Amino acid sequence: MSLPRPRSTILTAVASISLLLPVLAACSSDTSSSDAGSSAGSTESAELVVYSGRSEELVGPLFKEFTTETGVTVNARFGDSAELAAQMLEEGDRSPAQIYFSQDAGALGAVEELLATLPESVTSLVPQQYRATNNTWTGVTGRARVIAYDPQSVPAEQVPQSVFELTDEKWRGQVAIAPTNASFQAFVTAMRVTQGDDVTRDWLTGLVNNDVQTYEKNGLILDAVDSGQVQLGLINHYYWYEKAAEVGEDNMRAEVAFMAPKDPGSLVNVAGVGILKGAAENSAAIEFVQWLLSPNTQEWFVNNTYEYPLVEDVASAEGLPELDSLAGPDIALAQLADLPGTLNMLQDVGLL
Amino acid sequence: MIKRTSHRAPPLLLWGAALCAAIAAIPLVYLVIRIGGAGAADIWAILTRLRTWETVATSVGLATVVVIACLLISYPTALLLTRTKLPLRRLWFTTVALPLAVPSYVAAYAWVALIPGMNGFWAAALILTMVSFPYVLLPLLISLRSADIGLEQVARSLGNKPVAAFFATTFRQSVPAAAAGSLLVALYVLSDFGAVALLRVDAFTRVIYTSYRASFDRTNAAVLAGMLVLLAVILISLERKARGRSLRFRADKGVASSPLPKALTPALSALSSLWFVAIATISLAIPVISLLIRLGEGTRRPLDWAELLGAVANTAWVSALGAVIAVLLALPIAALASRFRSRSASTIESVSYSGLALPGVVIGLSLVFLSINTVPFLYQSFVLLAFAYAVLFLPKSLGASRTALENVPPALGQVAQTLGYKPLRAWLYTSGRISWPGIAAGGLLVMLTAMKELPATLMLRPTGFDTLATELWSRTELAAFGAAAPYALALIVLAAIPSFALSRGFLTNSKETMVNA
Amino acid sequence: MKAISIRDLSSGYGGDPVIRDISFDLEEKELLAILGPSGSGKTTLLKTIAGFLPAQSGLIKLDSQVVSSPQKIVPPEKRNIGLVPQEGSLFPHLDVSANISFGIRRNPKKTQRVAELLEIIDMKEYAHARPQELSGGQQQRVALARALAPTPKLILLDEPFTAMDTSLRAQMRRDIRNILTLTATTAIMVTHDQEEALATADQLAIMQDGRLIAFGTPHELYEKPASQDVASSLGEVNAIPATVESEHSVNTELGTFVARIMGDAVLGQHGIVLVRPEALTIEETDSPNAKITGSVFHGHDSTVTVSTNSGMVLKVRESQQHDRVPGTLCAVKVLREGIFLK
């Protein structure tokens, strides 16, 4: 007995069209022009390959500005700072990347071995505490750790001034952190450096015992505070300003407060940039970094992302406390290199 | 009866299939290299950390709950669709695969946007169930549809009540289909990261991602990923056992008696319709509505239509190419597994499933490592990305192709040979031609899944090449949820096209389209 | 010229051979039936002849061209051997005409040939029907036409009537036989049905446990079986212990009667004599040598089972209806020549 014959017109049609599409696509020009390994050596290039951990939404327009001003095309690859770092490490010296623009210092530290020493013309623009000790990378903008709070439950006066208050009974289940997030980890490392491992471990354990709520990202913490899910959250300052610009300040329920200066909770971290070894002589690459640190660009950051400029003579956004006044714990960011130690501790206490 | 010969497989086919499986297992090579770089002490430290096992338990628990939930949803749904005169049956048939168009992270995001407090294990279980139950439902529909009612009638004549008769015969026959679908769901849940991260579930993938993202320690991460692979191997062998023991029947003689659809009482009709409406609402309507609301909330920058359409085109093309590569790679393996029952055949088949168990980040990094060291001119190219999709989703094509091919009697190919066709042509003109709908369905499934893929895409795409998933991601990074909504909606709409084709193809096809994905 | 010639053929699925030392010849236009129980190796033999199973040793020649030998094995698509599998196996995605023309697609005269074959199988009206629309018998006919289209040197039929209703079977047998004769095609048919084999074949081969235990015309093998196994393959047979009495007779429990003495048996030699049920008869008598134990009605005749005085069970075929009551004493007489074997 034979099989009934299959009739499947629509299925075949869609599948056949899908077969044609990639053929067309493959024939049409591939917009990507990245050529692995071609980053080496060229001193003059009309093109720059940038691996950016900062999102396209944010810095895309900025890169276009650079192109308009200098004529150098920016071939930007956007991704998560840490994943890009892992990718670059896998790529090794065959990486097509020439510039690495990272969301945080930790990721820069992880790829230090791939980065070239920055020239004097660049390093002279930024205070030492915002650069790598060996000058393989430099910060571009600063972000302060702040505490977001829900004014409907927590009046401004009652907002904790120090992170050590967060283990208090009255904040049980009401504090939000993002332990997988690089900024939080940097903050913990800073605490370890200034307060010592034991104090830090006790504090972390205290948080866990106090039913601390964990989220994946700062943005989600802010959302949670904004919708009243939790009363307090540790985030980076500019998230609030970003969201406010997006949805309108009047629609924001959450507020942010800065903690007392010198408290571990008021760490200033940086988004930073490095030039990969293969592009060390590349004038366009150096120009790019210098441009990021130019007053115009720094002002752009101030106005668009509400981050702190790191270059002298550029004013911070209105309403933000001065960078110097924050100071944060007395450490150079480069000291935040012991990330593995922090991770181990976070894993030990059960936050990771 | 499925005819498997005890002949030896022709060497060309065996080696061809082995080559394809080896290609599919490339990420495993990477894992082995990286794990090899880890010291024994490090590995021991990871394996003995309690936390690791806690998260493994959470992930396994989540996978178990989701699989059970999918089965509980799929069986009644399949029965209602195949055995009753359900009102609007055709409508429900065609929409049955649509939940596959919603990526897990979009569903999670949409639900969280609607119900801010939504999180935790059970929320994740609900959401993952609602986007993955079609993987079980579709093969089940096919199995029930092609079941021979004659067996049930025999059982009833032997004194069994209708329900008991059903369980003894048709239900038993549906086990392989349900098992295959459950395997896919389980692997999907184990490797998912987006949804569990958003819903704040302490899943095993989180540990792996943290390892990559935070510690840049690819060695440790590789060890953890290796654990996932072991878990997948266990699941695959469980599924094989469930598949192997059950008998599969096609109606051999005369006309196969299809079950007559039963009429439903008005009350039952209403209840059944309600069931379907509920499923459609939870899995489709609510996420879409939530996204529309966000869309309405407005954004800082107006929607760039050129960018959106560009992403749509990119997504369509690269996922289509990935589907083509996946189907081609899977075909020799499916041809081998459908006819020959040797140990090498089943090993080859199992090896090709490895891609499904691993999180996208592992696949991405493995291909970065391997391509940049072996074929650097392909690195970060359109073709490599499509290839990554093929490696990731090959098992979906494999299951569909294999089942379709199994249902073609080998005698057809032999007859063609006696009529002068060389073996390959004979196969193409008979088995290939007849199983084409099933093979195409598998390809559509791959395309659909590739559209939603994120982590490997981020790593392997050509610089400047954006898919809907990456655009969506870069906006949510910034908490620009309003701006993300149009991309999320576009993704659902685009992915709905192959989903719809899958359902339709299934509907117009008779028993032979086995989308046993 | 022999259509097919096989010498010392052995074949299997790897490891020990399933069939061994098969040798026979077949003339053109003849139909050979290969008869044997399941597991006797007949399908293996068929697959080896077709070329789907490589022979482990031995020779196959088609039309005096070697197609299989230790040195070379011609692939199936080059042997020009047609195949009609057990269940038709028509291509479901093609209609009847397309099925039939599948092997002659490049032939410029294919339309003509298809029409010719449709005429021969008497299915002209079904030229554009789909396989699903045909009955089992019709599908088999189309399958045969498909195999015949490229005018093969040999056609292989694998239990072609198994899937059919009994009432159809006889008719189908005749039809297929006629078609083969009409097209002057040499054919080898595999079957487990002895009636079918006896009715359709020009030559008959009997297989058991992978070996050919008999080869000859149906009459020859039926009348003069070389062994008890051969005899029982072709029908019921009674094996009665006997002693050679003279050059042409044997002595048994049922008396002395004529028998052909096979082999070089000497006087007084003990052995068995094979007697077909239709060669026995039941009589009323005063000196009974058996007792009736049962009877089975076949419509055209009956088989009566008797038990002799020594307890031996015999089967007797009677074409006339008698009321055979179990327990009745009777005498069983031998009507025709038996075959004595050592």
Please write down the HEC assignment for all residues of C89-102.
CCCCCCCHHHHHHH
Distance CA B424, CA B431 (A): 10
Q: Which domain holds residue C326?
A: 236-341
How far A215 CA sits from the closest chain B CA (Å)?
6
Residue of A nearest to C133 (CA): A4
Q: Do residue C220 and residue C289 come from a single domain?
A: no
Contact predicate B204/B228, CB 8 Å? yes
Chain B adjacent subunits, 3+ CB pairs under 8 A: A, C
Torsion angles phi and psi, residue C261, rounded to 5: -95, 115
Burial class (CB in 10 A: 0-12, 13-18, 19+), C219: exposed
Q: Which pair of structure tokens corresponds to residue C332?
A: 């069983």
The subunits that touch chain A, with at least 3 C-beta pairs less than 8 Å apart, are: B, C
A-side interface with C, Cβ within 8 Å?
A: 1-6
Average pLDDT, chain C: 88
In angstroms, the Cα distances linking C155 to B242, B422, C36, C136, C307 are: 42, 19, 19, 20, 46
Q: Are the beta carbons of B164 and B155 closer than 8 angstroms? A: yes
Q: How far apart are CA A237 and CA A256, in angstroms?
A: 7
Whether C209 and C247 map to the same domain: the answer is: no
pLDDT in tens, A194-224: 888 999 999 999 999 999 998 888 888 998 8
Q: Hey, what amino acid is at C238?
A: N
Q: Of the residues C201, C231, C261, which one is the last residue of a structural domain?
A: C231
> Do C141 and C11 lie in a common domain?
yes
Q: Is A215 within 8 Å of A231 (Cβ atoms)?
A: no
Task: Quote the pTM value.
Answer: 0.78
Give residues with Cβ within 8 angstroms of C141, minimum separation 6.
Answer: C121, C122, C123, C175, C176, C179
Which of A8, A19, A340 is closest, CB to CB, to B508?
A8
Q: Sketch out chain A's domains with CATH numbers.
A: 7-142+268-342 (3.40.190.10), 153-266 (3.40.190.10)
CB contact under 8 Å between C91 and A6, yes or no, is no
State pLDDT tens for residues C178-195: 899 888 999 999 998 888
Both tokens of B340, joined, read: 């020959």
Chain C interface includes B412 (CB < 8 A): yes
Summarised one tens digit per residue, pLDDT across range C252-282 is: 888 888 888 887 778 888 888 899 998 888 8
Short-list B489, B383, B405, B437, CA closest to B113: B489
Is the Cβ pair A14, B323 closer than 8 Å? no
With beta carbons less than 8 A apart as the criterion, state whether A163 and A259 touch. yes
Which of C231, C248, C281 is the C-terminal boundary of a domain? C231
* CA distance to partner chain A, nearest, from residue C188 (Å): 22
3-state secondary structure at position B157: helix
Q: Which residues contact C78 (CB under 8 A, 6 or more apart)?
A: B420
pLDDT in tens, A20-59: 665 555 444 343 333 433 444 444 458 899 999 888 878 8
> In terms of C-beta density within 10 A (0-12 exposed, 13-18 middle, 19 or more buried), how is residue B377 classed?
exposed
Q: DSSP letter string over A8-34?
A: -HHHHHHHHHHHHHHHHHHHSPPS---
- Number of structural domains (chain C) is 2
Which residues in chain C are contacts of A2 at CB distance < 8 A? 88-92, 131-132, 139
Of B224 and B214, the structure prediction assigns the larger pLDDT to B224
Burial C171-204 (b: 16+ CB within 10 A, else e): ebbebbbebbeebebbbbbbbbbbebbbebbbbb
* SS3 label, residue C241: strand
Residues B401, B399: Cα–Cα separation, whole Å: 6
Q: List residues in chain C touching A: CB distance below 8 A.
A: 87-93, 130-132, 136, 139, 163
Task: Identify the CATH number of the domain in which residue C197 sits.
Answer: 3.40.50.300
> Cβ distance B291 to B487 under 8 Å?
no
Per-residue pLDDT at A17:
65
| C-alpha to C-alpha distance for A163 and A190, rounded to whole angstroms | 13
User: Quick check: B433 contacting C, CB < 8 Å?
Assistant: yes
**Does ipTM surpass 0.90 in this model?**
no
Name the pLDDT band for A19 (thresholds 50, 70, 90): low
Share of chain B above pLDDT 90, in %: 21
Tens of pLDDT, residue by residue over B400-445, are 888 788 878 888 888 999 998 988 889 888 888 888 888 888 899 8
Residues C261 and C191 in one domain: no
Name which of A36, A106, A239 is nearest B379 (Cβ-Cβ).
Answer: A36
Chain C residues inside the 8 Å CB shell of B252: 87
Q: Give C70: exposed, middle or buried? Use CB within 10 Å, 0-12, 13-18, 19+.
A: exposed
DSSP states along A146-159: EEEE-TTTS-GGGS
Domain shared by C218 and C305, yes or no: no
Q: What is the distance between the alpha carbons of residues B20 and B323, in angstroms, rounded to a whole number?
A: 15
Say yes or no: C151 and C27 in one domain: yes
Q: Within this chain, do residues C242 and C176 fall inside the same structural domain, yes or no?
A: no
CA dihedral B403, B409, B412, B417 (to 10 degrees): 80
Q: Which of A274, A267, A249 is nearest to A308 (CA)?
A: A267
**CATH number (domain holding residue C258):** 2.40.50.140
A78/B483 touch (CB, cutoff 8 Å), yes or no: no
- Based on the fold, state whether residues C249 and C129 are members of the same structural domain: no
Q: Is the same domain home to C157 and C265?
A: no
B380 contacts in chain A (CB < 8 Å):
32, 34, 36, 96
> Taking CB atoms and an 8 Å cutoff, what residues of chain A touch B110?
none
Q: Is pLDDT of B316 > 80?
A: yes
Of A2, A5, A6, the CB nearest to C139: A2
- Name the amino acid, one letter, at C203: Q
**How far apart (Å, rounded) are the C-alpha atoms in residues A269 and A249?**
25
Please identify which residue in the block is written with the tokens 């070379």.
Answer: C72
| Angle separating helix axes B468-477 and A56-70, nearest 10 degrees | 100
The reply to whether residue B463 touches residue A34, judged by beta carbons under 8 angstroms, is yes
Query: Chains with ≥3 Cβ pairs under 8 A against C?
Result: A, B
Instruction: Choose the mutation target among B14, B258, B417, B418 for the interface with C, i.e. most C CBs under 10 Å.
Output: B418
Within 8 A of C136 by CB-CB distance, chain A residues are 1
Name the closest residue on chain A to residue B372, using Cα atoms: A91
| B419/C53 touch (CB, cutoff 8 Å), yes or no | no
Identify from C93, C94, C99, C135 which residue to disrupt to test chain A contact, counting A C-beta atoms within 10 A and taking the largest count.
C93
- Are C170 and C315 part of one and the same domain? no
Q: What distance in Å separates the CA atoms of residue B101 and residue B94, rounded to the nearest whole number?
A: 13
C87 and C113 both lie in a single domain: yes
Same domain, C91 and C159: yes
Cα separation of C218 and C197, whole Å?
Answer: 8
